[in-house]
Amino acid sequence: MNIGQAAKATGVSAKMIRYYESIGLIPKALRSEAGYRHYSESDVHTLRFIRRARDLGFSVEQIGELVGLWRDRGRASADVKRIALEHVVALERKAAALQAMSRTLRHLAACCQGDKRPDCPIIEELAAPGADGGEHPHEPPRFGALHVP
Amino acid sequence: MNIGQAAKATGVSAKMIRYYESIGLIPKALRSEAGYRHYSESDVHTLRFIRRARDLGFSVEQIGELVGLWRDRGRASADVKRIALEHVVALERKAAALQAMSRTLRHLAACCQGDKRPDCPIIEELAAPGADGGEHPHEPPRFGALHVP
DNA sequence: CCTTGACCTTCCCATGATGGGAAGACCGAT
DNA sequence: ATCGGTCTTCCCATCATGGGAAGGTCAAGG
């Protein structure tokens, strides 16, 4: 199977398959004489595994660990569970951060007339030094970056 | 005020202040003879506005629009509200995506013994072609990227 | 046999917002 | 004058992904 077929069969783009190979997430594919990559059913299986893990928001690094555990018949399910739960924590933290922003904005927007006049509590909040009791040190709430695919 | 002081006063790093200038989000700062950037109270005000907008998750592009509206005394609050509500929609969509992932993983993890044995529903779900009725076209759920700061 | 179109290869660049760091100039205080 | 802190610009890295160019390959049909 060529890379395009593998891509269609797994939902992982050819570009990404090559990328995963380049960073060592998957082993180097066998090549035809002409240099075309060739994929077996087993490779396709692995790629599907990877895609599902990506769909659950795991980073490539985490996926590497998961693939390793998947292959390891002697794995402890505790290791898998730990990775999963760490990810759950990260996901929920990020979701909460987004919802906090959303909530704030919805409240502000609810107070905004939304007409032709310029008065707007949203702009005022952004501009306002309003009651900024010690907002200063601005310890920026630390969350990791997230790419929601 | 030099860039370092402006950074401390606003919670926007000097690096980012230069970056915002380079992409035109803020006008080019006045320079001292030696080339040092100089910031007025008004500039600091703008930077604080920008930081608050970033804290609410607005993109730099949206912030550009918001700053424009802020400066525009003849603005229609409807324009501000529209930008805010579009952002709310995006935020909630992303939060929902994260929570869906989290929920799935939590369910799987709840069924995982988490002991020394290898059996693990998490790994099985990732590996399993399980009941994939037409998962095929893999229309990847389209969300934008998000950087939760 | 040759063309055509679909596919493959590698390589480079871009995204978005941010940080890291180097090399060199400058400023203020001792 | 010297030292520590600060400024300048420039380049590179992140993370996962896509775009596109330039060129090689393959299969089908003329």
149 residues of chain B, pLDDT tens digit each? 999 999 999 999 999 999 999 999 999 999 999 999 999 999 999 999 999 999 999 999 999 999 999 999 999 999 999 999 999 999 999 999 999 999 999 999 999 999 999 999 999 999 986 544 334 444 444 444 444 55
- Residues of A whose CB is below 8 A from B109: 81, 84-85, 88
Smallest Cα distance from A12 to chain B, Å: 9
Interchain proximity A127–B102, CB inside 8 Å: no
B17/B13 Cα distance (integer angstroms) = 6
Chain B contact probe: residue of A12, A79, A122 with most B CBs at under 10 A: A122
Closest-approach nucleotide to residue B144, Cα vs C1'? C16
Q: What is the pLDDT of residue A147?
A: 43
Chain B contact probe: residue of A43, A70, A91, A116 with most B CBs at under 10 A: A91
Please give, one letter per residue, the 3-state secondary structure of A98-130.
Answer: HHHHHHHHHHHHHCCCCCCCCCCHHHHHHHCCC
Interchain proximity B114–A77, CB inside 8 Å: yes
A68/A135 Cα distance (integer angstroms) = 45
Please, which residues have CB within 8 angstroms of residue B80's CB and are 6 or more apart in sequence? A112, A120, A122, A123, B66, B69
pLDDT in tens, A68-99: 999 999 999 999 999 999 999 999 999 999 99
Strand C contact with A20 (CB < 7 A)? no
